[in-house]
């Protein structure tokens, strides 16, 4: 559907009962409210609908809380999970007084990033291809009280259940996945083939092009479903639909799906390797005769990401949990270098094809806890800064990182060790994000303030359960 009249005709022809208006909060969670379908008119797509923005994390204060959602007709889709026929539409946010787009609306930031790219005349299109990983659990329990703190995960295929009773429907039928051996055994060891297929089929119904689905490395139901690349805003829209489908298909089958980066100690976390390429006039710009078949532009793009990576991860890896995945020595992409095949490097150049159209940069640090509008925009801005300033990415890292002597390893920069460190890096290095007014100083300051006070300090104040094992007897 392209214009409001198309949406209204679809509502009438398909007997849609409700229209659900969805938008992204500052941190990365889809929000929504619904109205009876008959209340939606053509003017709704111009004037929007009001709501209280003060209850949305990181947004307006209570004294200036009124906001407007303005639906984008091109995003209208039929919700596959509601009992009553519901059409959901992705919205942009505007100020009701000025009628201007709200600067802290993540989707607006992404739209500005696309416009800025065009204004540079470097390229007119940036393609993004995220590979989001997630876990499927049978159950999850957690609590944080002044007198207690715990979490407890369970999974029918988890390594810790080899000796448990009553794990499967008929008791314990074995076939558990050992730690770091989930890539990728066939059923019955892989217990979630059909569940992932169900997720894929729902994605296809919504028009999402799916490339493949499979079990991932970790035990306890780690999974990956790969979707086809697309333009920045469209792909971020699709990723929200992707997460919505994964969680709801899991839920209706009695499971719980999570995109938390590191829920299990001693096994792989969930990343979101993100493939990026620039095009102009329908032609790819990253293919060339340089290293790994890359163009000079692509190498400079890599240079920009590597230069700004320590601040960039404040958006691409924005949680405390993110830095329990980004740990040196655990096969995580923490090394700020690039390589054609080395998966411990932060940037990899896939070598599956020599076709210039397939040439792209794979940034391996990001994880699926990010707000995709902000993460993709920040990646693009860092890469463009590299192109504009012809930033040399240095020599590639084609050696086995685990065989390097310590004196060589010490010369390689790595990602920050904590969210606090990443936020400090963002505070010190964010001018590249302000170009074209894509990110504003208010957005940067608000992001740092919210993350620092509501997440970092909140975790630092609370005793960790493992501290009792270490220190109770001092």
List of residues 6+ apart from 289 with CB closer than 8 A: none
Contact 235, 128 (CB under 8 A): yes
| Active-site residue identified among 238, 273, 360, 420 | 273
| Active-site residue identified among 360, 364, 420, 430 | 364
Q: Is 131 a catalytic residue?
A: yes
| Active-site residue identified among 25, 105, 216, 385 | 216
**Distance (Å, rounded) from C-alpha 386 to C-alpha 390?**
6
| Active-site residue identified among 25, 79, 114, 131 | 131
Backbone angles phi, psi at 77, to 5 degrees: -145, 155
**Distance (Å, rounded) from C-alpha 453 to C-alpha 451?**
6
Question: What percentage of the chain's residues is helix, strand, coil (to nearest 5)?
Answer: 35, 25, 40
Segments in 173-231 forming alpha helices (H): 193-205
Burial class (CB in 10 A: 0-12, 13-18, 19+), 102: buried
| Active-site residue identified among 52, 194, 211, 431 | 52
Give the C-alpha distances (Å, rounded to integers) separating 253 from 205, 249, 257, 263.
Answer: 19, 6, 11, 21
Q: At 157, list the tokens.
A: 């295929």
Q: Is 273 a catalytic residue?
A: yes
**Distance (Å, rounded) from C-alpha 5 to C-alpha 139?**
44
Q: At 357, list the tokens.
A: 């159209």
**Distance (Å, rounded) from C-alpha 110 to C-alpha 2?**
20
Q: Which of 131, 35, 47 is nearest to 89 (CA)?
A: 35
| Active-site residue identified among 25, 138, 224, 455 | 224
Q: At 164, list the tokens.
A: 């448990």
Q: Which of 381, 468, 453, 452 is nearest to 418 (CA)?
A: 452
Query: Residue 317, SS3?
Result: coil
Q: Which of 43, 46, 69 is nearest to 56 (CA)?
A: 69
Number of C-alpha atoms within 13 angstroms, CB side, residue 171? 3
Q: Is 216 a catalytic residue?
A: yes
Query: Residue 76, SS3?
Result: coil
- Across the strands, what pairs with 127? 231, 277
| Active-site residue identified among 138, 267, 362, 367 | 362
Q: Is 133 a catalytic residue?
A: yes
Q: Is 343 a catalytic residue?
A: yes
Q: Which residues have a catalytic role annotated?
A: 52, 131, 133, 216, 224, 273, 343, 362, 364
């Amino acid at each position: 559907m392209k214009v409001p009249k198309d949406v209204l005709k679809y509502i009438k022809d398909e007997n849609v009962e409700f229209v659900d208006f969805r938008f992204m909060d500052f941190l990365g969670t889809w929000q929504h409210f619904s109205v009876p379908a008959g209340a939606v008119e053509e003017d709704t797509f111009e004037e929007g609908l009001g709501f209280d923005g003060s209850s949305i994390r990181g947004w307006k204060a209570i004294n200036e809380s009124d906001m407007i959602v303005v639906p984008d007709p091109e995003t209208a889709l039929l919700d596959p999970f509601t009992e009553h026929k519901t059409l959901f539409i992705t919205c942009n946010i505007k100020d009701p007084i000025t009628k201007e787009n709200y600067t802290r609306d993540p989707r607006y930031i992404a739209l500005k990033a696309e416009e800025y790219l065009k204004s540079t005349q470097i390229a007119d299109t940036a393609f993004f291809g995220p590979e989001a990983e997630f876990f499927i659990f049978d159950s999850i329990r957690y609590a944080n009280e002044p007198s207690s703190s715990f979490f407890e995960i369970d999974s029918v295929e988890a390594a810790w259940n080899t000796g448990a009773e009553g794990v499967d429907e008929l008791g314990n039928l074995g076939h558990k996945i050992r730690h770091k051996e989930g890539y990728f055994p066939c059923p019955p060891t892989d217990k979630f083939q059909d569940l992932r297929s169900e997720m894929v089929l729902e994605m296809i119904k919504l028009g999402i092009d799916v490339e493949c689905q499979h079990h991932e490395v970790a035990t306890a139901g780690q999974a990956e479903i790969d979707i086809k690349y697309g333009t920045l805003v469209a792909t971020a829209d699709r990723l929200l639909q992707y997460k919505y489908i994964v969680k709801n298909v899991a839920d209706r089958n009695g499971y719980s799906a999570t995109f938390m980066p590191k829920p299990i100690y001693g096994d792989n976390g969930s990343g979101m390797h993100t493939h990026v390429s620039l095009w102009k006039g329908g032609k790819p710009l990253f293919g060339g005769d340089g290293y790994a078949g890359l163009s000079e532009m692509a190498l400079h793009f890599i240079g920009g990401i590597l230069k700004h990576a320590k601040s960039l991860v404040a958006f691409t890896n924005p949680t405390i949990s993110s830095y329990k995945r980004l740990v040196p020595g655990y096969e995580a992409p923490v090394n700020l270098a690039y390589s054609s095949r080395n998966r411990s490097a932060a940037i990899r150049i896939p070598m599956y094809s020599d076709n210039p159209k397939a040439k792209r940069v794979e940034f391996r640090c990001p994880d699926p806890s990010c707000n995709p509008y902000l993460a993709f925009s920040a990646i693009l801005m860092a890469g463009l800064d590299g192109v504009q300033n012809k930033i040399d990415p240095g020599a590639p890292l084609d050696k086995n990182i685990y065989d390097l002597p310590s004196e060589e390893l010490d010369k390689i920069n790595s990602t920050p060790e904590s969210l606090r460190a990443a936020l400090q890096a963002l505070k010190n290095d964010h001018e590249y994000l302000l170009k074209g007014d894509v990110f504003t100083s208010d957005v940067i300051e608000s992001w740092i303030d919210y993350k620092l006070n509501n997440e970092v300090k909140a975790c630092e104040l609370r005793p960790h359960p493992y501290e009792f094992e270490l220190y109770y007897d001092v």
